[in-house]
Amino acid sequence: MIRETVYSGPTTTYHIELAPGVTLSVLEQNTDRARMEDRWSGGETVEFGWRPEHCLVLT
């Protein structure tokens, strides 16, 4: 579930709750074709995935 959406100009960060107490931050580039109404907002339930080569894990 989307817990928070943070618009930062060239990017939008989504804070997604995977399970109680487990949150993932996802960064999405905002492109010229991306519209504000196409972005997800808090409280929405989503399914997501990504390609391994598009990941960066920070520990």
Residue 34 lies in a domain: yes
Mean pLDDT of the chain: 83
Q: Widest CA span of the chain, in angstroms?
A: 35
Q: Is position 59 within any domain?
A: no
Percentage of the residues of the chain whose pLDDT score is greater than 90: 24
Domain that holds residue 22: 2-54
Tokens for 33? 């074709």
Residue 33: pLDDT over 60: no
Residue 35 included in any domain: yes
Number of folded domains in the chain?
1
Mean pLDDT of 3-10: 88
Q: How far apart are the C-alpha atoms of 1 and 42, rounded to whole Å?
A: 8
Q: What percent of the chain has pLDDT over 70?
A: 86
> pLDDT tens digit string along 14-29?
999 999 999 999 888 8
Residue 47 in any domain: the answer is yes
